[in-house]
Amino acid sequence: MIKLFGKIRYELMEKNKTGKPAWPVGRYLKYAVDEIVLIVIGILIALKINNWNALRKTKLLNSNY
């Protein structure tokens, strides 16, 4: 798997398409946006699990009555 990624990276470097923006600020903004997206996805997953657990507890409580 690592060899595959290395080969793809090498081919992109040969074509000069490394995905790096021309300015360092652009690289930072790309990194910042990626981090924000990952954090939002993590929060949404946590909320989904919390809601699922609350619903499970409610169903369990109702079945006991």
Q: Is residue 57 part of a domain?
A: yes
Does residue 16 lie in a domain region?
no
Whether 8 is in a domain gets the answer: no
Residue 10 covered by a domain: no
| List of residues 6+ apart from 19 with CB closer than 8 A | 12
Counting the structural domains of the chain, the total is 1
11-61 pLDDT tens trace: 766 766 555 655 666 777 878 888 999 999 999 999 999 999 999 999 998
Look at residue 21 in the predicted model and tell me its pLDDT.
57
Residue 49 lies in a domain: yes
Residue 4 — very low, low, confident or very high, per pLDDT cuts 50/70/90? low
Give me the pLDDT at residue 22, please.
58
Domain containing residue 40: 22-65
How far is residue 57's CA from residue 2's CA, in Å, rounded to a whole number? 44
Structural domain includes residue 38 = yes
Is residue 1 assigned to a domain?
A: no
Distance CA 16, CA 36 (A): 28
Q: 29 lies in a domain?
A: yes
- Side chain identity at 44, as an amino acid letter? L
